[in-house]
Chains A and B, each alone.
Chain A
Amino acid sequence: MNIFRFAGDMTHLISILVLLLKVYATKSCSGISLKTQELYGIVFLARYLDLFTDFISVYNTVMKLVFIGSSLAIVWCMRFHRVVKRSYDRDVDTFRHYFLVGGCFLLALFVHEKFSFREVFWAFSIYLEAVAILPQLILLQRSGNVDNLTGQYVLFLGAYRGFYILNWIYRYFTEDQFSRWISCVSGLVQTALYADFFYYYFISWKNNAKLKLPA
């Protein structure tokens, strides 16, 4: 564990707490893409298949349970919670995310560290996480103004993988046999997808204006 990875995990945890706060405090999921939440649920379920077989540390296991639990809880809320589901606007959340699932799985079948059930699903989860934010970013562009909590949720979610890139650089230089090129390349793509969001978020913060993404 190094400070970059810990900062990344904490930033990721904060993004989840901000999202839970928004949904439970406002009893509304307006501006949140159900499809992105479903993709993240698939990402965590596919990535943490080793949850009960490989014990790394208490921290590792607890965080995996938090990530799986929170993503499934949000999906459940947006689909079935009496009040919350009313604020979900499926007419705006129209990204065909099943193509992302199919494409990433196909890619994982060809590009992986080792051709085994666990490794293919792990690579699939890494590729899928890189593009999972697309439905959410498209929805924000469509819905124009972005409420503060949703903006902060996306900001922290984008920043966490940026910290992971610093972690991979650090580990590359401090550990001899470290090679996570699948995670690194995907992490770079993932963080790059947030670039324009970061830019507009910074502009809105500088001008102390409401965050607006150009359509």
Chain B
Amino acid sequence: RILPDKSTVITVASHNATWHEFMKFIDAGKGSHVSGMSELKTYFNRFGYLPISSNDTNFTDTFDTQFESAVILYQQNLGLPLTGKLDTDTISTIMSPRCGMSDSVNTTSHGFHTTRR
């Protein structure tokens, strides 16, 4: 097997930038079950959209009602059409690099509440 030369590996690595794996969720909607969606829920939790409920410590791979609400709030905060689905606009915004501060408004996240005007 011919190993890719070092520069190729580096190039590939840059394409594997953080969150690019979320592309596989495109067009997922309520009721769907996609392997790895728990990772996307962790992303939504990090930015203040999805609290970890007290009883279960891990997120599931199911696109449930709670996640749909989180997607709608995300779309609202990022000025996207409120479809409640992981449409192309929403997925490409999710994959876009961003600031690490939470978007949460009037909810606790990283100890910061924010108030939108």
Are A and B genuine complex partners?
Answer: no
List the interface of chain A (C-beta within 8 A of B).
none
